[in-house]
Every structure is written in C-alpha cells, then in structure tokens.
Amino acid sequence: MSPSQVVTLQILLYLISVYKTVQISKLTNLFPLPIQSESKRKHIQRFLTIKELSLPLFWFPLVRIMVEKLFNFPSELVLIIDRTQWQDTNILMISLAWKKRALPINWKILTHKGASNLAEQKAVIRPVLKLLKGQKIILTADREFHSIFLSHWLKKYQKQDVFFVLRQKKSMMIKRGKKYSKISELKVNIGETKLLLNQKITKRK
C-alpha cells in the first residue's frame, strides 16, 4: 500500500471501531477529509476495491498470524461453513471456531438467492484448507451441506488431517442390513449417541 492508502485504512479502522458501523454513507460523514461529501464517498469506495485489500493478499496473512497467536498446538481447528441471507445479500462463509465465537476466514457473495452449490462450496473451502495446511482440521456444516458429493471431495484431504461432520436431513436414506430406511426412523433416545460405521447412504449414488 502507498502511504496515503495506509492512512485511509487507519482512519477507516478507527471509525469502524469507535462508531460501530460499516455503512459507507455514515463513514463518509465521519471521514475527516476537507472535501465534498460525494468526493469522500467515492474516495472510500475506490479504496475498498484496491487489489491490496483482497482476501489472499491482505486477510489470509492476518488469519495465519491469529491462528498462531490464539491456538496452542497440537490442537485441532474447527471450521464452520454456513450461508446467510443478509437483507438482499446472500453470503457463503467459512469461519474458525474460537471461544464460542466464529472468526471469518473466507467468504463469497453469491449472485443468486437460496442454497449454495458444490462449485461455490469448493471455491470457499479450498483456499482455507491450503491456508491452514499442516493443521488438523474438522469442518462442520448444517443440512445445506449434506451432499455426498461434498463428502467425497473432502475425503481427498484426509491425508492432510482434514475431517468433516456434515449434518444430514432426516429424510436421508440409510441402508440397514438389506433394507433402506430414513434417518428419522432410527431409534435414538434424547441425549443418546450412536456410532454407525461403514453405512451406505442414499439409494441412487
């Protein structure tokens, strides 16, 4: 970054931390530059699009430092992949669990509404697995990510100590002996845990 860009970053971080807002319209009014409001808005918008602020160049190195500072190794890193609809913005995000908090690592703004697809999920997960290579990782996800194709792709990373826990829909079919049944039909009492090994799930694939 140029010296002026560093100053702009420092000012924005200060304003965001003090005034607890990330809205450009509000930051424009608070930004201490002796120019017209519209010029300040354009200045902030241009700054936020510079390549130096891209996730791989700016954020990933900071994540690596945070991981080294916050975790005592050897310890496993629990990753959480989730999608959220924030107003009109559909965000696919992967975060790191830390003290009942989720630290965002990588994200993608989806150009459509609704669930993410396998290609989008891979695009968000792959850079993080590369970033944290060498660490034991457990990836967790809710029912949106129940796909057996995602499971099959993630298994390729097991040699790198990457494991996963994907919540399944209760309608998922599981083979019990010679017969298939829905997961919801398994007899499990509240608070009880069952470990089922070498199960075949889904009828078609």
User: What's the token pair of residue 11?
Assistant: 């000012």
Mean pLDDT of 58-71: 91
For 55, phi and psi rounded to 5 degrees? -60, -50
CATH code of the domain made up of 74-167: 3.30.420.10
Domain boundaries in the chain? 3-53, 74-167, 173-205
In angstroms, the first-to-last Cα distance of the chain is 50
pLDDT tens readout for residues 149-191: 999 999 999 999 999 999 999 999 998 888 899 999 988 888 9
183 close to 168: Cβ distance less than 8 angstroms: yes
Instruction: Kindly tell me if the per-residue pLDDT of 80 is higher than 80.
Output: yes
Q: What is the pTM of this model?
A: 0.83
Instruction: Please report the pLDDT score of residue 97 as a whole number.
Output: 95
Mean pLDDT of 129-141: 94
Q: For residue 143, how many C-alpha atoms fall within 13 Å in the half-sphere facing its CB? A: 6
Chain position carrying tokens 């990753």: 79
Instruction: Please report the pLDDT score of residue 79 as a whole number.
Output: 97
